[in-house]
Structures are given as structure tokens and as C-alpha cells.
């Protein structure tokens, strides 16, 4: 969904003049859905931790998260800088500070060097909070709930400092939605969900993404998205042996796909001087978009297979 949003201009002047805008009117929902999934996964993968050794848990958890996120993000951030920023601006003190803050997931008012990293700033902050809650042992989820009560209170205040703005951002609440789903599904190990109910959940999420179903209230939207995700996760847990291979493939390469996809259309515009809709024939524009997606998926797979997996395997042992 995020990839589609960032490339939607290349879909215009294909089926219709605004086809990209029709399919991907907003990228925010993809981020919200991902934060829900992330919150759930953190609960799901830490449910059997030995809570009596909190320090070891904190170190182990953060190490795994950093190894999972930082190597690929660091490599692509530096690649983005030298491909698209350095040719236009010289390296100076300000750009060095921006690179360092970007790589350390420290917000500084503007987007990070690789602009997609703004979501990783939220992600890494959530990981830090989640890890620190291990110190509360069996009360760790109560501590996490207390943090989110404070965080939701901060929604209604305004701040100037970039990091406080990040903490107070409403989008962080979607992590908590995922945590709640994880806790509920841990409490009810068998939660039968009818396949049609799961399909309804997908349809509602799709209508939200297409902005056909608009929810004016932020908290109501969060609740509806949470209920839909709960239904989908509950069904998938009871039918986890049923793998849809194309979606499984996309899931495996999703992090590489997320970070790499803007390189392709940025390269086309910056180095080949090709702009969205540069072909007059709508069919050719559509074929070119499919070709561009093939390049994105192909390189994302190579990054995942020969960089992401290799680095993770090397650093974990």
C-alpha cells in the first residue's frame, strides 16, 4: 500500500487519468496497519520469555530489533544520500548531523535522509518502550498500558521539541492496538472466526484504504481498524498452516521492499529524466508501471536474500 502510494503518479494516465489516486489516495493507512501488526508481533514473539531475568531480556530484545532494522536501513540511507543528495549539495556539518540522526532514529524536524525512515523512528521508539517494560516483570503490560494512557493524553497538547512530538503523535497508539490484540489472543487461545467474517474484515480495511469508508473521528477509526485486525489475526492463528505463497513471498521481502521502492522511480526521474505519464499511450504507461514494479520486486528480493538475511545471520551468531 505504501509502495503504491509513492508510485501512484506513474499509474495515472493508464486506466483513467487519475487511476493511481483512486487506488492509493493515502499512504497513512498502510503505516497504521503495519504498526498494529508490529504491536501484535512483539507480544506474540515474547509471550514465553523468562520474566525473572529482565536485564537479559531487555538486552536480547533490543539487540535483535537493531540487527533486524539497522543494517539494511543504514546501507540504503547512505546509498540515498550519495545517489540523490550529495550530487546536489556538498557534504557539510549540517548534512553530517542529519545522517547521524537519521541512522540513530533521532527525529530532527524534517524527514530523515531516506524519508521512509520517519516510520522507523516510531518503530524503534516503540521497541525501546516495550523493552524497558520487561523490568516490571509480570506487570510489564500494566506498565505499557500506563505509558499509552500518558501518550494518549499527550495527543491533545502541543510541543516544539521533535522527540516529544514523536512521543505525542497519535499514530503511536496503533502499536498499542496491536499489543491489545496480542494480549486478547493470548488469553483466548482458541478463538473461532468464520472465514466470511475474516473476509468482511479485509473488505472494511480495503474500503478505509480507498477512502470510500471515511471515519471522521481518529479514535473510532482506530477501534474499527483494531477490530478488523483482531478478526484477521485470530483467523490466521487458527489456520496458520494455510500459506498463500505469493503473499508469503511479499511478506518475506516486505522490509526490503518498503525501504528500496522509492529508489527506482527517483532514479528514473533524477538520472533518466523520465516523469510519470511520459508515454502518451495509456497502455504503454500501464506496461511501464508493471515493468517498474517488476524491477522493485526483483531488487527487493535480491536485497532480502543476499543482504538482509546474510547480515542478520552473521550478526546473530
Supply the mean pLDDT for the chain. Answer: 91
Interior/surface letters 205-233, b for 16+ CB within 10 angstroms, e for the rest? beebbeeeeeeeeeeebbebbbebbbbbb
Of 124-133, 221-230, 233-242, minimum mean pLDDT range: 233-242
Give pTM, 2 decimals.
0.92
Angle between helices 54-80 and 93-103 (to 10 degrees): 140
> CA dihedral in degrees (156, 160, 161, 166; nearest 10)?
40
268: confidence class by pLDDT, cuts 50, 70, 90: very high
Task: Give CA–CA dist 239/206, Å, rounded.
Answer: 22
* pLDDT mean over 194-217: 92
C-beta pairs of 137-142 under 8 Å, 24+ apart in sequence: 137/51, 137/52, 137/54, 138/51, 140/51, 141/179, 141/183
Whether residue 135 contacts residue 58, with contact meaning beta carbons closer than 8 Å, is answered with yes
pLDDT band (50, 70, 90) for residue 247: confident
Residue given cell 557539510 in the structure block: 92
The predicted structure's pLDDT at residue 122? 96
Q: In the predicted model, is pLDDT for residue 36 greater than 80?
A: yes
Lowest mean pLDDT among 88-92, 95-99, 126-130: 88-92
Specify burial of residue 20 (Cβ count, 10 A radius: 0-12, 13-18, 19+): buried
pLDDT-derived band at 253 (thresholds 50, 70, 90) equals very high
- What is the structure's pLDDT at 75? 97
Closest CA to 130 of 42, 32, 230, 41: 42
Q: What is the pLDDT of residue 225?
A: 96
CA distance 280 to 14: 10
Residue 290 CA to residue 293 CA, distance in Å, equals 5
How confident is the model at residue 114, as a pLDDT? 96
Count the residues in the chain: 317
Contact 100, 94 (CB under 8 A): no
242: pLDDT strictly greater than 90:
no
Tens of pLDDT, residues 147-199: 999 999 988 888 888 888 899 999 999 999 999 999 999 887 666 788 899 99
CA gap 149, 180 in Å, rounded: 13
Pick from 248, 309, 123: nearest CA to 317? 309
pLDDT bracket for residue 49 (50, 70, 90): confident
Q: What is the dihedral of CA 303, 304, 307, 312, to 10 degrees?
A: 160
What's the pLDDT tens digit per position in 109-160? 889 999 999 999 999 999 999 999 999 999 999 999 999 999 999 888 888 8
Query: pLDDT-based confidence at 241, cuts 50/70/90?
Result: low
Amino acid at each position: 500500500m505504501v509502495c503504491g502510494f509513492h508510485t501512484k503518479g506513474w499509474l495515472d494516465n493508464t486506466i483513467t487519468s487519475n487511476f493511481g489516486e483512486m487506488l492509493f489516495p493515502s499512504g497513512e493507512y498502510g503505516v497504521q496497519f503495519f504498526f498494529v501488526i508490529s504491536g501484535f508481533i512483539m507480544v506474540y514473539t515474547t509471550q514465553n520469555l523468562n520474566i525473572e531475568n529482565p536485564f537479559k531480556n531487555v538486552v536480547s530484545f533490543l539487540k535483535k530489533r537493531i540487527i533486524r532494522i539497522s543494517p539494511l536501513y543504514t546501507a540504503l540511507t547512505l546509498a540515498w544520500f550519495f545517489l540523490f543528495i550529495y550530487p546536489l549539495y556538498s557534504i557539510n556539518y549540517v548534512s553530517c548531523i542529519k545522517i547521524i540522526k537519521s541512522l540513530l532514529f533521532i527525529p530532527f524536524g524534517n524527514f530523515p535522509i531516506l524519508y521512509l525512515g520517519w516510520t522507523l523512528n516510531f518503530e524503534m521508539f516503540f521497541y525501546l518502550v516495550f523493552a524497558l517494560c520487561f523490568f516490571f516483570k509480570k506487570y510489564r503490560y500494566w506498565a505499557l498500558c500506563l505509558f499509552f494512557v500518558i501518550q494518549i493524553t499527550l495527543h491533545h497538547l502541543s510541543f516544539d521539541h521533535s522527540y516529544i512530538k514523536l512521543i505525542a503523535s497519535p499514530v503511536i497508539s496503533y502499536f498499542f492496538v496491536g499489543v491489545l490484540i496480542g494480549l486478547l489472543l493470548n488469553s483466548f487461545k482458541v478463538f473461532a472466526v468464520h472465514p466470511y467474517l475474516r473476509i468482511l474484515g479485509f473488505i472494511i480495511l480495503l474500503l478505509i484504504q480507498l477512502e470510500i469508508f471515511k471515519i471522521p473521528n481518529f479514535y473510532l477509526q482506530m477501534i474499527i481498524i483494531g477490530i478488523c485486525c483482531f478478526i484477521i489475526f485470530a483467523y490466521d492463528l487458527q489456520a496458520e498452516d494455510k500459506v498463500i505463497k505469493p503473499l508469503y513471498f511479499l511478506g518475506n521481502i516486505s522490509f526490503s521492499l518498503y525501504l528500496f521502492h522509492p529508489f527506482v522511480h527517483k532514479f528514473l526521474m533524477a538520472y533518466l529524466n523520465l516523469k510519470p505519464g511520459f508515454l502518451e499511450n495509456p497502455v504503454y504507461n500501464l506496461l511501464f508501471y508493471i515493468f517498474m514494479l517488476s524491477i522493485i520486486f526483483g531488487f527487493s528480493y535480491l536485497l532480502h536474500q543476499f543482504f538482509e538475511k546474510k547480515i542478520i545471520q552473521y550478526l546473530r551468531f
